[in-house]
């Protein structure tokens, strides 16, 4: 696992757990709040026990909350997915497809099921309240109502009939009381009436004839107000429940025989409706009532079922969506991690490791990826090690190395090449070689690369001369074509060695040999010539009387010229026989001070300045040779300032500790040296002066080279020449 990813994963896991705890707490509190709210809302309508209420409403609350939570999560995930897709986050497209597939697969059967169930319930409920059922119930109800109505009408009818008989037969007369009882009993039996009662005008019950099948205990006489109604001349019926049965009473007045307007009593005919019948009719009534009650709830019941189905449908759809998200996440999660891992590896992070999530094929894929990354890392480390090794070799090799690919772009430039060509690798890498080596002085390199590119051979070697602002280099350049395993040309490598010093040393050695031979061949005859001239002069000078002056001048000239020639030959001889360097610990500043003493007094018109920057340690120097070199340089400086009749000579010494290099700079304000002459300056017999032998700077160069040092010449600003000598302290 990546070093950074471990704490991040832990942090995410902690956050997730914390969030889950919060959600559980919120759900718990919502259930606590919602349950009493639902119980309150249900109010008095719910006639179920309170424990049932709490349990059921608690469950309803949980369902509502979970459904809302599910909806929230699904909506949140869908929104997240849309945004991820818009942002082009890896894995979002695959996740979208999987989720869409799951939703699609769940939508069709769910909606089909919803439609079938809704239609089925709708049809079933419609059947419950079908016309036939309703009509049957209504008819039953009407039968029951008609039964009571008929009974009422019969009661009234028979009451009227018996009342008429009583009136016509004067049966209310006290004398006919027995006859009245008999007639009432007869009529009760004849008409199969329940109870027949006769009340006097004083509300006194005169006669009561009762059907023996009626339970006596259950019978209650009509209330006095009903009897009074009869006495008032009203005919009325009244249904009165008594015990388990009903009495249907028909109440009519009994008129006087002599005066039709006079009411002398009340007759009550009671029909008895037995309990079994009442029970059945009450059942019909109750069923009728309940049917209408339920009918009123027909639409709510339908709605309720549709609502329930909708919830179940939504639950299935949201669950399927959620499951789709879960499955998509379980598939795209590792793929996303793999993609991220690939990107990380592509960006060079080879420490990236993916935590295996499962032991299935995806787990194997992740393990393979981790193995691949690990192997890649090891290979990269090895390659890097080799590259660094190669770089170090190239950096430390004395030869300059430049590689160019087949497109002509520079791909490598080592340190030595940078130093030699006074270029920086970063300014040339990935540039076309024509562009990088565009200056005229680099024409040799350009030509070599161009020739190599068109050449069919494998190698090309050439000596190149490069003129840089401060030096001229002689390089031995070797161009080798690079080919891959199949022999295809992939570029070239250019290796060049600086032959400048070697060539200079070879030249010096050659010149020394020439000088030695000249000295040897010329010096030998010079002494006899000089001696002969002196002898002639001594012997014959006084013998010439007239032309003695001519003789004198000629011999003097011969002697002087020979002398000058001898001096010249001696110088040649000295150059050719330069003694071997004898380095001893000496102070460079002391040597310079001593040398300057020789010049300060005789050259008052010249300002000598000696600056000592830092402390130069004592190191091995050949005191005499070094003094000679400085003398030669000061002589040259004085010569260059002769025209001006004065000037300034500045000598500056310094020490570079990091390089362990002592540095001497001798600058004058003289006429300076033209740039084109600078490369030949240290060659023997090259002089810018008419009287010079051309050996002074060659000797200086020879001494400095013997001390493993290096001398170069630059222009001094604002005018003059500046010689820079660098001497290594450790040899």
Binding site for other proteins (CB under 8 A): 38, 41-43, 45-48, 53, 56-57, 60, 141, 144-145, 148, 239, 246, 281-282, 285-286, 288-294, 296-301, 303-304, 307-308
* Three-state DSSP state, 303: helix
State how far the Cα of 556 lies from the Cα of 290, in Å rounded to an integer.
Answer: 168
Please state, in angstroms and rounded to a whole number, the distance separating the CA atoms of residues 682 and 696: 8
Cα dihedral across residues 406, 407, 410, 412: positive or negative = negative
Q: State how far the alpha carbon of 723 is from the alpha carbons of 72, 227, 707, 714, in Å.
A: 86, 160, 16, 6
Q: How far apart are the first and last CA of the chain?
A: 54
Rg, the chain, Cα only: 69
CB of 61 to other proteins, least distance (A): 12
Rounded least distance, CB 298 to other proteins, Å: 7
The residue (of 306 and 474) whose beta carbon lies closer to other proteins is 306
Shortest Å, Cβ 236 to other proteins: 10
Identify which of residues 101 and 296 has a Cβ nearer to other proteins in the complex.
296
- For other proteins, which is the closer residue by CB, 299 or 609? 299
Beta carbon of residue 333, minimum distance to other proteins (angstroms, whole number): 40
Strand order, beta sheet including 400-405 = 410-413, 400-405, 489-498, 472-483, 459-467
Q: Which is nearer to other proteins, 47 or 488 (CB)?
A: 47
In the bound complex, what is the minimum distance in angstroms from residue 60's beta carbon to other proteins? 7
User: Rounded to the nearest whole angstrom, what is the least distance from the CB of residue 144 to other proteins in the complex?
Assistant: 6
Element at 710 (helix H, strand E): strand 710-715
CB of 344 to other proteins, least distance (A): 55
Q: Which two tokens stand for residue 224?
A: 């006095």
Nearer to other proteins, 5 or 140 (CB): 140
Quote the least distance from Cβ 41 to other proteins, whole Å. Answer: 5
Between residues 33 and 550, which has the closer beta carbon with respect to other proteins?
Answer: 33
Tell me whether residue 53 or residue 573 sits nearer to other proteins (CB atom): 53
Tokens of 300: 């709510």
As measured in angstroms, the least distance from the Cβ of 223 to other proteins is 12
The CB-of-229 to other proteins minimum distance in angstroms stands at 13
Q: How far is the CB of 77 from other proteins (least distance, A)?
A: 30
Q: What are phi and psi of 601, to 5 degrees?
A: -70, -50
Q: What's the burial of 348, exposed, middle or buried (CB within 10 Å: 0-12/13-18/19+)?
A: exposed
Taking the complex as a whole, the smallest distance from the CB of residue 295 to other proteins amounts, in Å, to 8
C-beta closer to other proteins: residue 292 or 355: 292
Give the Cα separation of 654 and 321 in Å (integer). 82
d(CA 378, CA 386): 12
Nearer to other proteins (CB atom), residue 56 or residue 460: 56
Bond into 718 cis (ω within 30): yes
Token pair, residue 281, equals: 């009719």
At residue 146, the 3 state secondary structure works out as helix
| Chain length of the chain | 731
Q: How far apart are CA 350 and CA 264, in angstroms?
A: 125
DSSP single-letter state for residue 543? T
Round to whole Å and give the CA distance between 448 and 311. 86
Minimum CB distance to other proteins smaller for 29 or for 307 = 307
CB of 40 to other proteins, least distance (A): 10
Q: How far is the CB of 39 from other proteins (least distance, A)?
A: 10
Comparing CB distances to other proteins, the nearer of 304 and 560 is: 304
Q: What angle do CA 462, 438, 460 make, to 5 degrees?
A: 20
CA distance 323 to 27: 21
Distance CA 518, CA 261 (A): 196
Q: What string of DSSP letters covers 78-146? A: HHHHHHHHHHT-TTHHHHHHHHHHHHHHHHHHHHHHHHHHHHHHHHHHHHHT-HHHHHHHHHHHHHHHH
Residue closer to other proteins by CB (options 1, 41) is: 41
Report the candidate in 550, 419, 505 with the shortest Cα–Cα distance to residue 701: 505
The partner residues of 401 in beta bridges, in order of sequence, read 495
SS3 609: strand
Query: Residue 574 is encoded by which pair of tokens?
Result: 């000295």
Q: How far is the CB of 109 from other proteins (least distance, A)?
A: 24
Q: Among candidates 631, 700, 644, 635, which has minimal Cα distance to 671?
A: 644
Which residues, 6+ apart, have CB-to-CB distance to 654 below 8 Å? 613, 614, 616, 662, 663, 665
Furthest C-alpha separation in the chain: 240
Nearer to other proteins, 161 or 238 (CB): 238
CA distance linking residue 260 with residue 263, whole number of Å: 8
User: How many C-beta neighbours within 10 Å does residue 92 have?
Assistant: 20
Q: Could you tell me the smallest distance in angstroms from the CB atom of residue 160 to other proteins?
A: 21
Which residue, 62 or 514, is less far from other proteins as judged by CB? Answer: 62
User: Of 60 and 62, which has the nearer Cβ to other proteins?
Assistant: 60
**Of 223 and 564, which CB lies nearer to other proteins in the complex structure?**
223
């Amino acid at each position: 696992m990546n070093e950074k990813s471990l704490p991040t994963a832990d942090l995410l896991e902690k956050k997730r757990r914390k969030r889950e705890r919060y959600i559980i707490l919120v759900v718990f509190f919502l259930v606590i709040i919602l349950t009493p709210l639902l119980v309150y809302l249900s109010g008095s309508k719910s006639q179920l026990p309170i424990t049932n209420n709490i349990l059921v409403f608690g469950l309803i609350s949980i369902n509502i909350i979970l459904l809302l939570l599910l909806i929230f999560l699904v909506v949140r995930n869908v929104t997240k997915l849309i945004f991820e897709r818009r942002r082009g986050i890896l894995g979002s497209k695959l996740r979208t497809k999987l989720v869409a597939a799951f939703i699609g697969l769940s939508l069709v059967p769910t909606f089909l099921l919803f439609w079938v169930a809704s239609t089925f319930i709708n049809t079933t409920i419609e059947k419950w309240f079908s016309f036939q059922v309703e009509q049957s119930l209504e008819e039953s109800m009407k039968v029951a109502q008609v039964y009571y109505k008929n009974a009422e009408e019969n009661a009234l009818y028979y009451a009227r009939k018996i009342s008429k008989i009583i009136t016509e037969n004067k049966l209310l007369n006290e004398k006919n009381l027995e006859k009245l009882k008999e007639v009432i009993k007869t009529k009760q039996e004849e008409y199969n009436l329940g109870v027949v009662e006769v009340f006097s005008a004083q509300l006194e019950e005169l006669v009561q004839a009762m059907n023996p099948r009626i339970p006596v205990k259950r019978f209650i006489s009509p209330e006095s107000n009903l009897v009074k109604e009869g006495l008032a001349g009203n005919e009325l019926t009244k249904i009165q429940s008594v015990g388990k049965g009903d009495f249907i009473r028909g109440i009519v007045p009994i008129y006087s025989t002599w005066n039709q307007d006079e009411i002398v009593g009340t007759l009550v005919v009671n029909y008895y409706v037995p309990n079994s019948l009442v029970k059945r009719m009450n059942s019909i009534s109750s069923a009728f009532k309940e049917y209408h009650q339920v009918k009123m709830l027909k639409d709510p019941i339908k709605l309720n079922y549709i609502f329930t189905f909708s919830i179940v449908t939504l639950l299935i759809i949201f669950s399927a969506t959620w499951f789709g998200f879960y499955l998509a996440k379980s598939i795209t999660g590792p793929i996303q991690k793999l993609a991220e891992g690939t990107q990380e590896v592509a960006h060079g992070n080879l420490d990236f490791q993916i935590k295996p999530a499962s032991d299935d094929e995806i787990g194997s894929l992740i393990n393979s990826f981790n193995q691949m990354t690990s192997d890649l890392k090891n290979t990269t480390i090895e390659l890097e090690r080799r590259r660094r090794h190669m770089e170090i070799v190239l950096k430390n090799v004395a030869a300059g190395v430049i590689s160019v690919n087949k497109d002509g772009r520079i791909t490598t430039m080592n340190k030595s090449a940078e130093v030699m060509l006074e270029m920086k690798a970063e300014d040339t890498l990935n540039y076309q070689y024509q562009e990088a080596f565009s200056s005229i002085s680099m024409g040799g390199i350009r030509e070599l690369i161009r020739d190599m590119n068109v050449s069919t051979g494998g190698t090309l070697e050439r000596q190149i001369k490069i003129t840089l602002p401060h030096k001229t280099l002689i390089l031995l350049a070797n161009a080798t074509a690079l080919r891959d395993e199949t022999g295809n040309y992939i570029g070239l490598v250019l290796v060049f060695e600086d032959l400048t010093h070697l060539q200079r040393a070879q030249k010096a050695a050659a010149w020394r040999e020439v000088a030695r031979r000249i000295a040897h061949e010329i010096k030998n005859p010079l002494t006899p010539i000089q001696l002969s001239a002196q002898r002639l002069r001594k012997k014959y000078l006084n013998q010439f009387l007239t032309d003695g002056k001519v003789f004198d001048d000629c011999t003097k000239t011969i002697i002087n010229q020979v002398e000058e020639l001898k001096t010249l030959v001696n110088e040649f001889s000295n150059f050719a026989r330069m003694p071997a360097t004898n380095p001893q610990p000496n102070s460079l500043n002391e040597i310079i001070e001593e040398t300057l003493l020789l010049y300060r007094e005789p050259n008052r018109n010249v300002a000598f300045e000696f600056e000592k920057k830092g402390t130069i340690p004592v190191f091995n120097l050949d005191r005499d040779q070094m003094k000679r070199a400085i003398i030669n340089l000061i002589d040259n400086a004085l010569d260059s300032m002769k025209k001006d009749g004065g000037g300034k000579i500045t000598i500056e010494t310094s020490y570079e500790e990091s390089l362990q290099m002592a540095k001497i700079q001798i600058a004058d304000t003289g006429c300076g040296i033209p740039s084109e002459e600078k490369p030949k300056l240290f060659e023997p017999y090259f002089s810018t002066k008419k009287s010079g032998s051309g050996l002074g700077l060659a000797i200086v160069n020879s001494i400095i080279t013997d001390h493993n040092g290096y001398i170069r010449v630059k222009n001094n600003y604002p005018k003059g020449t500046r010689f820079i000598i660098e001497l290594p302290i450790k040899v």
